Chains A and B, each alone.
Chain A
Amino acid sequence: MVKKEKEFRPENRNLQLPEVNDFVVEFRKYRTELTKKFLDRKPWIPKDENKVTAFIPGTIQKVYVKDGDQVKEGEPMMVLEAMKMKNTIFASREGEILKIHVREGDAVAKNKVLIELKPD
């Protein structure tokens, strides 16, 4: 049996003292603490149309093309297996393959760059 020591008060807990920072809302600078979630938020990166990325984590099952190949719009380039589904990755436009970043059998994380097309 654990004995009750003192009345429960959340602020009695030793929390790390967070830093006070500048924080701007509508042109005014406030002094405030920032949360971990806020600091860890992902910065916005505009989509690079020349890079084909993994829309889901999985395994590269087949690669049909190689560096320097010319592909036509709608041509299958590779197969990404995820959640027991084989997803064929098609070329979204006509162009030249600049570089293939993965090999058959590779496990890839979500958003990993798979293929880079030569910019138009």
Chain B
Amino acid sequence: MASTKKVRELQQRKEQIQLGGGEKAIQKQVAMGKMTARERIIQIVDEGSFNEYDLFVEHDARDFGMERKILHGDGVITGTGTIGGKPVCIFAQDFTVAGGSLGSMHARKITKIMDHSLKMRMPLIGINDSGGARIQEGVNSLAGYGEIFFRNTLASGVIPQISVILGPCAGGAVYSPALTDFVFVVDNISKMFITGPEVIKTVLGEDISMEELGGARVHSELTGNAHFFAESEAECFDQIKKLLSYIPWSNISLQEKKEVKDPQKQYDINKIVPADKRLPYDVRDVIRAVSDDSEFLEIQELWAANIVIGFGRIDGRTVGFVANQPKVLAGVLDVDSSDKSARFIRYCDAFNIPIVTLVDLPGYLPGVDQEHAGVIRHGAKVLYAYSEATVPKITVILRKAYGGGYIAMNSRHLRADFVFAWPDAEVAVMGPEGAANIIFRKEISEASDPDKVRKEKVKEYIDKFANPYVAAAKGFIDAVIEPRETRRSLKHALEVSGSKQIGMPRKKHGVPPF
């Protein structure tokens, strides 16, 4: 047994180090509206489950007077704990210690816990709150970042990686979150950018605040770098726990089956989608009408809202939903929505989560800005992601599926397992107005009353082609179903695809249109 004296010494050492940068620095952190690194970890993991490692690590910098400085824990707390009873690895940068700056030992603590999470196949949660590289440690800091990025990449698709931005995250530091699966931000607290406002002002003369440049809202609404937006740290932690309740612990862990509850009555699938194809509705109501207990965790809710992605459950098991959103920009595909959905599809595929695609789109967003922003390259990502995915892939065409949009949205041609369509569905090479204008160009232009003839021809086209039966006759649609049969059909389709096995040509890896 250890002597009481030694135990007391240990306790004292721990207490001192656990204070981080000390009372004054903690007060400053609190004044900024932020929790301390330790509080954050304690709140994210199950009560009493946190086990800390490398508490006694010290930096080894010898220049610029650093040899006289003591940095507790070298500015980062690392360890393991459980969330919902299941193990996770977690680290939190401590802004109260030298601004959470990253030196070589700080980085080594992080890479050590990353190695653990990969080796033991459990999720990694990283809380970022750091001023950036520790300049006094020079190139050693850079090496640290590089080692982290490398591990992020190795672990990608093996274990879930979650980045929580709870403070500044600037310069090279932003690339670790960017390489991870989910980035969480909190209003007024998160700040991410490559070059800060000062540099931008000096070099380019553009005057912008940190918040406007890289605040939580900017990354949630404009850039798409963030996946979950919260108004407080507490809300953010709830979001993390909720996300973890849906996703498998690694790419080899089996999906857990949760208790099955029927969708709530308020989501009546017969009353959500207007018959008039020009009218909007919220496709999330359709998702809730088919998912267990009408639960749906939306990802990147505020960015590229013309497509909806997120997790729900059908028959107790997690599925990834991808759905065009007619409520926003009529649900068109464009640069951002392609990017957003393609990455999500790859996430689901990597972690063996079946994908349910709900289709209702008029086509691609027209515009010079879209063409010049590379909508060809970005749009191709959706085709690539769906084609490559080998998880069960089920499609329901709710209303419109026109042209390239029809193909892209997990069509039979990209090896969908099941394609269902509602009776109102229109599967066609393009919208009736566009098609009639081209096919009957001559008749329309030569008519004495072109508008009247155009209307007639549009109606003719609608009667003939604006239905699901032309595609069903070719076997492109497996079954035309009534809306109320949707959940049952999805359940059954998922059930029968439980042991899906398909091969891919042998290759090292593909070359996706990144």
Contacts and interface: CB of A to CB of B under 8 A. Distances in A.
B122 to A, nearest CB: 23
Among B301, B327, B330, B437, find the residue whose CB has the most chain A CB atoms closer than 10 A.
B330
A57 B201 CA distance: 11
A55 interface: no
Contacts of B327: 32-33
Interface stretch (A36-44, A62-70, A72-80): A36-44
B362 to A, nearest CB: 4
A31 B329 contact: no
Contacts of B315: none
Given A20-B280, A25-B363, A41-B367, A8 B235 contact: yes
Interface in B206-226: 206, 221-222
Contacts of A47: none
B204 interface: yes
B284 interface: yes
A27 B147 CA distance: 53
Contacts of A11: 284
How big is chain B's contact interface, by range?
35 or more
A34 B280 contact: no
Among A2, A30, A57, A107, find the residue whose CB has the most chain B CB atoms closer than 10 A.
A30
Contacts of A28: 277-278, 362, 431-434
Contacts of A25: 330, 332, 362-363, 365-366, 431
B387 interface: no
Given A25-B366, A27-B431, A33 B238 contact: no
Contacts of A8: 235, 238-239, 242
Contacts of A83: 203
A4 B238 contact: yes
Nearest to B200: A57
Nearest to A45: B368
Contact of B329 (A1, A26, A29, A38): A38
Nearest to B367: A41
A37 B221 CA distance: 9
B311 to A, nearest CB: 13
A37 B278 CA distance: 22
A19 B331 CA distance: 16
Interface of A: 1-4, 7-8, 10-11, 13, 20, 23, 25-38, 41-42, 44, 57-58, 82-83, 107, 109
- List 5 A-B pairs, minimum CB-CB distance, nearest first: A2-B234, A26-B434, A27-B433, A30-B330, A44-B368
Given A27-B433, A33-B280, A58-B204, 8 more contacts: A26-B362, A28-B277, A32-B329, A33-B328, A33-B329, A34-B329, A37-B336, A42-B369
